[in-house]
């Protein structure tokens, strides 16, 4: 088997304030399901999704983290080795948007990113239906 056929694993971390809908976004993306029920994430949880990106097989390992500050100390282990960071805010909650900068800064420190200017961040405004 040649090297180009090996499956790539991409580690994606979802960050943002508690209650902005990180878990709902992940569930929707992975399973195509949406739940109205709110259940706080404890620590972190990850789900894999197999995809084809540029004609190559890849598995996205999507890590959903708790938004509560008390879990931010879990950072280092969870953030290390990330390939992308998704920052989520609630469009009905200005503070959750303002807090994205500190989530980004914290991620860059915890994940020990060597080239922060070129690291891929995705910002998602959630709860657009509200």
In whole angstroms, give the CA distance from residue 12 to residue 10.
6
In whole angstroms, what is the distance from residue 66 CA to residue 45 CA?
9
Which pLDDT tens digit goes with each residue over 27-64? 788 777 766 665 555 556 778 888 888 888 899 888 88
pLDDT tens by residue, 75-92: 577 788 999 999 999 999
Query: Do the strands 121-126 and 84-90 form a parallel or antiparallel pair, or are they unpaired?
Result: parallel
Token pair, residue 6, equals 């090996």
Give dist(CA 50, CA 69) in Å, integer: 31
E strands along the chain, which residues?
A: 8-15, 44-53, 56-65, 84-90, 121-126
């Amino acid at each position: 088997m040649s090297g180009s056929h090996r499956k790539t694993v991409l580690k994606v971390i979802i960050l943002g304030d508690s209650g902005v809908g990180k878990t709902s976004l992940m569930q929707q993306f992975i399973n195509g399901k949406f739940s109205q029920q709110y259940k706080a994430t404890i620590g972190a949880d990850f789900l894999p999704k197999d995809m084809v990106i540029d004609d190559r097989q890849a598995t996205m390992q999507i890590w959903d983290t708790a938004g509560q500050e008390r879990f931010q100390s879990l950072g280092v282990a969870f953030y290390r080795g990330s390939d992308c960071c998704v920052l989520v805010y609630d469009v009905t909650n200005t503070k959750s948007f303002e807090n994205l900068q500190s989530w980004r800064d914290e991620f860059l420190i915890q994940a020990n990113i060597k080239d922060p200017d070129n690291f891929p961040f995705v910002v998602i405004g959630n709860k657009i239906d509200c």
